[in-house]
C-alpha cells in the first residue's frame, strides 16, 4: 500500500572477496510510477531503489538493485487493480435504476468508491466485500462517468476508470387520430403509435378538463373550440409527450348571463350578455313577455311583475343549433302598512301590531319599538311597554331586488289610574245614617268614569246594608279597581259548643267572637242542668266563661245560657239556649 514500509534483507562481499556480510533495511512505498510498477526507497544504510511489480492483490517478488544483492526475499504487497467496469440499464430521466458493477476490489476490507457524473462528484459509497468480489453502484442515469476509483481503509488506491459516456434508449410518444364531426357532438378516435409498445403507460388530456388512460381511446366533444389533445407516456422513469390541435368549428354552444341575475325589480333594466361559442353564429332572443331580438347582446326592461323564461336560440353555418334558458323573477315595488290592536295602551299592557306588505320578493321584516328594542321576521307581533310615554313603532319590509319600505305609528302608553275608596268599615242595620263610599283620589277628575258593582256610575255611593263594594275607575281607557268591605256591626254570633281544655282553641264561651261589634250593654249568665247560676258577666270586652265554677272545671255536658245585649243603634236582643261543654 502507498505509505507502507517493507523490510528488505540483502548481502555484500567483504574485502577478502570470499566472505559475505548480511544486512537489512526498510523500504517505503511512495507511489505508483505506472499502472504496473511502484517505487520504494531503501532508507538505510544504502540509498538504492526497490522496484515492486504490481499484479493486483497477489504476492509479488520484490527485486533490490544497487550495491547489494537480493537473497531471495519475497514480500506480499496489499495493492489491487480494478479489472473491469460494467454499466447496466442506464435511463434517460426520472428515477435512475441502472447500475455500475466493479470487479477486482480489495479482499476483506472496507472499500470506498468514488466517481463523478457529468463532472460533478457523486456521494461516496462504502461497502465490505470478500476476495475478488464485485460491488454494484445503483442509480445509474444517462451521462458521462469519470474518475471511478476505489480506496481501502489501509489507504490503498486502485487504478482509475473513465470517462465513459452512457446513452439511454429513448421513449418516443406518438399517435394518429380520426375526427368525425356532427352537430350532436364531434368524435375523435386515437391510435397510439408510441415506442416501445411495451413497458409504457398512457395519459390522454382532451383539453376540456377530462382525461383517459386507455391505450387507444375515443372521446366525444359537445362544445365548439380549439382543443389541444395531449398524450403523455412514461415507463415510470422517463416521461415524454406529444400534442395535436383540433378545431371544432361546426359545434354550437349557447349561453348568456343576465345582470341582475335571477331576481330584479320591476322597471329596472336587465343586461343580457351573450356567451355562446361557435363560428358564424346568428341569434334569436325570446324574453318571455312577448318581445324578441336578433342582437348579440341586449338590455331589456320588464314592466309587469312575474316569472319570465328567457330563451336564447343560436345557429351557425352548418347549420347546427343550441339553446340556453334562464328564469327571471321580476318583483313588484311594495308599499307597507301598519295597524295596531288598540289605540290606547296602558302601562304594562300588551299591544299587537300587524304589518301589511307584498310577500313576493320579501326576505324578512324588521320591527323597531324603541331605540334599543327590535325583533325580526315576525308578523303579527305583540309587544309590551313597561313605562308610560309616547313611542314610535316602525316596520321595515325587506326585499331581495326592490327597495325596502317602512311605515311608523305613534303609541301613547298611559299609566293605570289609582283609586282609593278608603278603609273597610261597618254598619248597623236600621241605623239612621247610611255609610258613604267615595273615590278620594279621582272624585274631582272630569275625565274619570266609574262603575260600581251596584251598577251606579257616580264617584260616590250611599250604603245601608253590609257587604263587599267594588268601584272601577276608567281614565283614558285604562282601568283600576278598589274594594271596601262593609261589615254588620250590630249582631251576635253565639256558638253552641266550646272546649275549655287549654289548647288555645275555643277555650272560652263568648258570643262576641265573630264580628259581634257595636255593643253598648251586655249581660250573660250560665246555668247548670239543675238551674244553678255558675257564671255571670256584664263586661263588653271580657273573655267569656272558661268552663269553671268556683275555679273548679265543670264536667262535660249541657249548660244553659241567657244573653241580653244593647247595640249602638239602640236595638236590644235577648238570647237563651243550650251550650255543650266538651273536653
Q: Which residue has the cell 489501509?
A: 154
Q: Output the pLDDT for position 80.
A: 56
The CA distance from 264 to 327, in Å, is 11
Q: What is the DSSP string of 114-180?
A: EEEETTEEPPPEEEE--TT-EEEEEEEBSEEEEEEEEEETT--B---B--EEE-PPP-B--EEEEEE
The pTM of this model reads: 0.48
Give, rounded to a whole angstrom, the gap between the first and last alpha carbons of the chain. Answer: 138
Q: Output the pLDDT for position 119.
A: 86
Q: 242 is written with which cell numbers?
A: 406529444
Q: Output the pLDDT for position 46.
A: 38
The CA distance from 537 to 509, in Å, is 12
Q: Output the pLDDT for position 89.
A: 62
Q: Output the pLDDT for position 224.
A: 93
Q: Output the pLDDT for position 105.
A: 63
Nearest CA among 514, 511, 520, 517 for reference residue 562: 511
On the question of a cis peptide bond just before residue 286, with omega within 30 degrees of 0, the verdict is: no
CB 97 within 8 A of CB 89: yes
CB 567 within 8 A of CB 490: yes
Q: 207 is written with which cell numbers?
A: 383539453
Beta-strand pair 425-427/478-488:
parallel
Q: Output the pLDDT for position 287.
A: 97
Q: How confident is the prediction along the chain (583 residues), in pLDDT tens digits per residue?
A: 444 445 554 444 455 544 444 455 554 444 433 333 334 444 444 333 333 333 333 223 344 433 333 333 444 444 456 666 776 666 666 556 667 777 766 555 667 788 788 888 888 877 665 545 566 667 777 788 888 887 766 556 777 878 888 776 678 899 999 999 999 999 999 999 998 888 899 999 999 999 999 999 999 999 999 999 999 998 776 788 999 999 999 999 999 999 999 999 999 999 999 999 999 999 999 999 999 999 999 999 999 999 999 999 999 999 999 999 999 999 999 999 999 988 778 888 889 999 999 999 999 999 998 767 889 999 999 998 888 888 999 999 999 999 999 999 998 899 889 999 999 887 877 655 788 999 999 999 999 999 999 999 999 999 888 899 999 999 988 899 999 998 877 777 788 999 999 898 889 888 754 445 677 888 999 999 999 999 999 887 777 899 999 999 999 999 999 999 887 777 788 999 999 999 8
Cβ of 12: how many Cβ atoms within 10 Å? 12
CB 536 within 8 A of CB 556: no
Distance of CA 91 to the CA centre of its chain: 51
Q: Output the pLDDT for position 376.
A: 93
Residues 6+ apart with CB under 8 A from 354: 338, 339, 340, 341, 379, 380
Beta-strand pair 497-498/478-488:
unpaired
Helices and strands (DSSP H and E) totals, the chain: 0, 51
Residues 6+ apart with CB under 8 A from 480: 416, 417, 418, 419, 472, 473
Q: Output the pLDDT for position 94.
A: 56
The CA distance from 404 to 383, in Å, is 23
Q: Output the pLDDT for position 489.
A: 74
Amino acid at each position: 500500500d502507498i505509505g507502507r514500509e517493507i523490510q528488505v534483507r540483502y548481502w555484500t562481499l567483504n574485502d577478502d572477496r570470499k566472505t559475505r556480510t548480511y544486512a537489512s533495511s526498510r523500504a517505503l512505498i511512495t507511489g505508483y510510477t505506472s499502472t504496473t510498477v511502484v517505487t520504494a526507497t531503501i532508507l538505510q544504510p544504502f540509498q538504492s531503489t526497490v522496484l515492486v511489480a504490481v499484479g493486483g492483490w497477489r504476492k509479488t517478488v520484490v527485486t533490490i538493485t544497487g550495491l547489494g544483492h537480493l537473497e531471495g526475499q519475497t514480500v506480499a504487497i496489499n495493492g489491487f487493480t480494478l479489472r473491469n467496469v460494467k454499466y447496466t440499464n442506464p435511463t434517460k430521466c426520472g428515477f435512475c435504476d441502472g447500475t455500475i458493477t466493479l470487479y477486482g476490489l480489495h479482499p476483506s476490507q472496507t472499500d470506498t468508491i468514488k466517481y463523478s457524473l457529468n463532472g460533478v462528484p457523486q456521494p461516496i459509497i462504502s461497502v465490505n466485500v470478500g476476495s475478488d468480489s464485485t460491488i454494484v453502484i445503483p442509480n445509474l442515469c444517462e451521462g458521462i462517468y469519470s474518475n471511478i476509483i476505489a480506496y481501502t481503509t489501509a489507504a490503498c488506491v486502485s487504478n482509475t476508470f473513465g470517462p465513459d459516456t452512457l446513452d439511454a434508449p429513448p421513449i418516443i410518444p406518438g399517435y394518429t387520430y380520426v375526427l368525425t364531426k356532427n352537430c350532436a357532438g364531434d368524435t375523435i378516435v386515437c391510435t397510439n403509435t408510441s415506442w416501445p409498445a411495451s413497458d409504457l403507460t398512457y395519459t390522454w388530456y382532451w383539453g376540456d378538463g377530462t382525461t383517459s388512460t386507455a391505450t387507444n381511446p375515443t372521446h366525444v366533444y359537445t362544445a365548439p373550440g380549439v382543443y389541444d389533445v395531449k398524450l403523455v407516456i412514461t415507463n415510470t422513469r422517463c416521461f415524454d409527450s406529444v400534442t395535436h390541435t383540433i378545431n371544432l368549428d361546426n359545434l354550437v354552444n349557447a349561453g348568456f348571463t343576465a345582470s341582475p341575475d335571477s331576481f330584479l325589480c320591476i322597471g329596472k333594466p336587465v343586461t343580457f350578455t351573450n356567451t355562446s361559442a361557435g363560428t358564424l353564429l346568428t341569434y334569436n332572443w325570446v324574453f318571455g313577455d312577448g318581445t324578441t331580438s336578433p342582437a348579440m347582446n341586449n338590455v331589456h326592461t320588464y314592466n309587469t311583475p312575474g316569472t319570465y323564461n328567457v330563451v336564447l336560440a343560436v345557429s351557425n353555418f352548418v347549420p347546427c343549433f343550441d339553446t340556453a334558458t334562464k328564469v327571471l323573477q321580476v318583483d313588484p315595488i311594495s308599499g307597507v302598512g301598519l295597524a295596531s290592536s288598540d289605540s290606547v295602551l296602558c302601562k304594562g299592557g300588551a299591544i299587537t301590531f300587524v304589518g301589511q306588505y307584498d310577500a313576493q320578493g320579501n326576505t324578512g321584516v324588521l320591527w323597531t319599538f324603541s331605540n334599543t328594542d327590535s325583533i325580526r321576521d315576525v308578523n303579527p307581533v305583540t309587544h309590551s311597554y313597561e313605562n308610560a310615554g309616547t313611542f314610535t313603532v316602525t316596520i321595515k319590509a325587506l326585499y331581495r331586488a326592490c327597495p325596502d319600505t317602512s311605515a311608523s305609528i305613534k303609541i301613547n302608553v298611559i299609566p293605570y289610574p289609582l283609586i282609593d275608596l278608603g278603609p273597610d268599615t261597618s254598619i248597623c242595620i236600621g241605623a239612621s245614617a247610611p255609610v258613604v263610599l267615595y273615590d278620594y283620589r279621582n272624585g274631582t277628575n272630569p275625565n274619570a268614569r266609574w262603575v260600581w258593582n251596584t251598577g251606579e256610575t257616580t264617584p260616590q255611593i250611599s250604603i245601608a246594608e253590609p257587604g263587599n263594594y267594588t268601584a272601577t275607575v276608567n281614565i283614558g281607557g285604562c282601568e283600576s279597581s278598589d274594594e271596601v268591605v262593609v261589615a254588620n256591626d250590630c249582631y251576635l254570633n253565639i256558638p253552641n259548643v266550646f272546649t275549655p281544655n287549654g289548647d288555645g282553641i275555643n277555650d272560652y264561651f263568648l258570643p262576641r267572637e265573630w264580628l259581634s261589634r257595636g255593643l253598648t250593654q251586655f249581660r250573660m249568665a250560665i246555668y247548670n242542668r239543675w238551674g244553678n247560676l255558675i257564671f255571670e258577666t256584664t263586661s263588653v270586652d271580657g273573655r267569656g266563661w272558661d268552663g269553671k265554677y268556683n275555679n273548679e272545671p265543670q264536667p262535660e255536658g249541657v249548660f244553659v245560657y241567657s244573653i241580653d245585649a244593647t247595640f249602638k243603634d239602640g236595638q236590644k236582643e235577648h238570647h237563651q239556649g243550650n251550650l255543650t261543654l266538651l273536653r
